Amino acid sequence: MQLQIVILALGIMTALLGVAMIPCWLLDMADQAPEWPVFAGSATVLVLFGIGLTILAGGRPERTGSREAFLLTVLVWVVLPGLAAIPFMGVGMSFTDAMFESISGLTTTGATVIDRLVDQPRGILLWRAILQWFGGIGIIVTAIAILPVLRVGGMQLFQLESSDVSGKFMPRIGEITAQTGLIYLFLSIACAITYAACGLSAFDAIAHSMTTVAAGGYSTYDASFGAFLDTPAPLAAIFFMIIAGLPFSLLALAMLHGRARPLLTDPQPRLFIGLIVAITTLIFVLRIIEDHDYVIISPVAGYIETLFNVVSVITGTGYATATYDGWGEAAVLVFLVTIFLGGCAGSAACGIKMFRLEISFRAVWAHTQQMISPNRVVPIRYGGRVVDNDTLQSVMVFVFLYLATFVISAILLSLTGVDPLTAISGAATSVSNVGPGLGSTIGPAETFATLPDRAKWICATAMILGRLEFTAVFVLMTRRFWKG
C-alpha cells in the first residue's frame, strides 16, 4: 500500500483546519474574549503539523488505488475530528464532550452538548459553523469523487466517465473539488446575503449560512431558528436547505455549464421534492387532528412551520422552529421515519438517500412480480437504465448495514439507562446525521449534554459510520484489505 498519498492528504487537510481557526482567533481578539489564545495556539500547532506531514509525504504520488482511497476516506473522518476538538477542550469542555461536538460538527450532524450557547464566546460559535461548512464540502466531494469509484452503497451509478482509480484519482478529485467548491462558495455567500436581508446580524447570517448550505444545523442560539420567527429567515432557510439536499454535480452542470435539464429530469430531485410535499401535508393534517384550533387560526403559518421542520429533518440539517415532538404521537412517528430518508446522492444531506429508496422499492416490486410469475423476467430500472446486479447488491448491503447499525446503536443506548424514545431516536438521528432526536431528553428543544458519556460515544461512532456510508469502514476491518 502506498501511504504517501494518505500522509499528503492528511497533511494538507490538517493545515487547512489550522488556517480555518484563524477567523475564530481574530474574532475573539476583537471581542477581547479571554479564550483567544486557545485558537491562536491551536491554529499554529495544526498549521505546522500539517506542513510537517506534507513535507514527510514528499512529492506528488504517481499512482493511487482503491485501497489508499478507502484508508484515506476513513482516516479523514477519524483523525480530523480529534484535531478539531482541541479548541473545545481549550475552553473547558471534557474530552468526551469536545470529541462529540467536533464529530457532530464535521459530520454535519448538528447534535450538541452545549447547553447555553449565549454564554459561549463568538469564536467558539464561529468554529462550530466552520466545522460544519468544512465537513459539508468534504462530504459532497467524497460522494461525487470517491464513493462512486470505490463502489460504495451503489454510488457507482453516479461514477463519471473519466473515473479511473489507476493514476487519475487525485487529478479527478482536484477537478471535482474546484467545480464543487465554486458552487458551494457561491451558495454560501448567497445564503448569507439573503439572511442579512432578512434582518439577521452579519455574524448570525454568516454562521447560519455555513451551517445551512452544509445541511449541518448548528445555530448560534439555543432556540435554533426559533430565534428568527419574526423575520422571513425561516422561508429563506427552507429554500437553501432544499438546495443543499440536491445533487451538487447537477447543480454544477446547471450553474457552471448552463445545463439545467439534468436537474429537472433526474429521478432523485423529483422524489425528494415529492416526499417533502407529501410528508409535510401528512403531518399538517395530523396537526389539524391533534390541535384543530391552532391550525384554523393560522393555517398558512402552521403549514410553513411544518414545512420548515420537515425539510430540516429530511435533509439532516437539524434546525428547529418548534418542539415538533409535541405535535402528537402520530406526527412523532412520521418524523422518526423521515429521519431515515435523507436527500439526494452527491448532496450535503444525509440518510439512506433517494436513489437507494427508489431502487429498493423497485427491487421489492420486481421480486413480488416474480413470485406471482416465476418465469417472468422483471428488470429493475432506475433513471431509464437497467440496474446491474453489482449495483443492486451494493444498495442492499448498504441498507442492511444502515439498519443493522441503527438497531445495534439503539440497543447499546438503551443499555446506558436512557428511555426507549431517547435510545431509538438518538440512534436514528446519529446514524442519519440529522442532529436533534425526539423526546424530553434529546428533543429539538434539548441537547445531548445530559446523556452518559458512554451514550455520547455510541452516538459519535454512529455519526461517523453514517457519514462514511458504512461500507468503507467495514472494508478496513477485513484481513484481505491489509494483505492486499
Domain boundary among 321, 341, 361: 341
Q: What pLDDT is recorded for position 295?
A: 57
Residue closest to 341 by CA, chosen among 412, 446, 213, 245? 245
Number of domains in the chain: 2
Domain contains 303: yes
Domain contains 109: no
* N- to C-terminal Cα separation, the chain: 7
Cβ-based neighbours of 63, under 8 Å, separated by 6 or more: 2, 166, 167
Q: Does residue 414 sit in the same domain as residue 471?
A: yes
Partners of residue 359 on adjacent β-strands: none
Domain contains 336: yes
- The CA–CA distances, whole Å, from 398 to 32, 288, 353, 474 equal 49, 37, 11, 11
Cβ-based neighbours of 81, under 8 Å, separated by 6 or more: 99, 102, 103, 105, 106, 107, 464
Domain contains 403: yes
Dihedral (C-alpha) 40, 46, 51, 53: value to the nearest 10 degrees? 170
Q: Does residue 388 sit in the same domain as residue 446?
A: yes
Euclidean distance between CA atoms 17 and 136, whole angstroms:
14
CB 356, CB 158: distance < 8 Å: no
C-alpha cell at position 431: 446514524
Domain contains 66: no
Domain boundary among 283, 312, 341: 341
Domain contains 205: no
User: Cα 31 to chain center, whole Å?
Assistant: 31
CB half-sphere exposure, 297, CA atoms < 13 A = 4
Q: What pLDDT is recorded for position 167?
A: 42
Q: Does residue 387 sit in the same domain as residue 475?
A: yes
Domain contains 279: yes
- The CA–CA distances, whole Å, from 362 to 377, 396, 414 equal 13, 12, 34
Backbone phi and psi for residue 253, each to the nearest 5 degrees, phi listed first: -60, -40
pTM of the full structure: 0.91
User: Cα 88 to chain center, whole Å?
Assistant: 21
Q: Does residue 387 sit in the same domain as residue 295?
A: no
Count how many residues are written for the chain: 484
Q: Does residue 395 sit in the same domain as residue 456?
A: yes
Q: What pLDDT is recorded for position 70?
A: 79
Q: What pLDDT is recorded for position 170?
A: 47
Q: Does residue 388 sit in the same domain as residue 317?
A: no
Q: Does residue 308 sit in the same domain as residue 392?
A: no
Residues of the chain with pLDDT under 50: 161-171
Domain boundary among 341, 365, 397: 341
C-alpha cell at position 39: 485558537
Amino acid code (one letter) for 90: G
Domain contains 313: yes
- CB neighbours (10 Å) of residue 230? 7
Question: What is the H or E stretch that residue 414 is in?
Answer: helix 389-414
C-alpha cell at position 148: 462512486
Q: Does residue 387 sit in the same domain as residue 336?
A: no
- The CA–CA distances, whole Å, from 207 to 97, 228, 266 equal 21, 14, 32
Q: Does residue 267 sit in the same domain as residue 315?
A: yes
C-alpha cell at position 363: 427491487
Q: Does residue 478 sit in the same domain as residue 387?
A: yes
Domain extent at residue 440 = 378-483
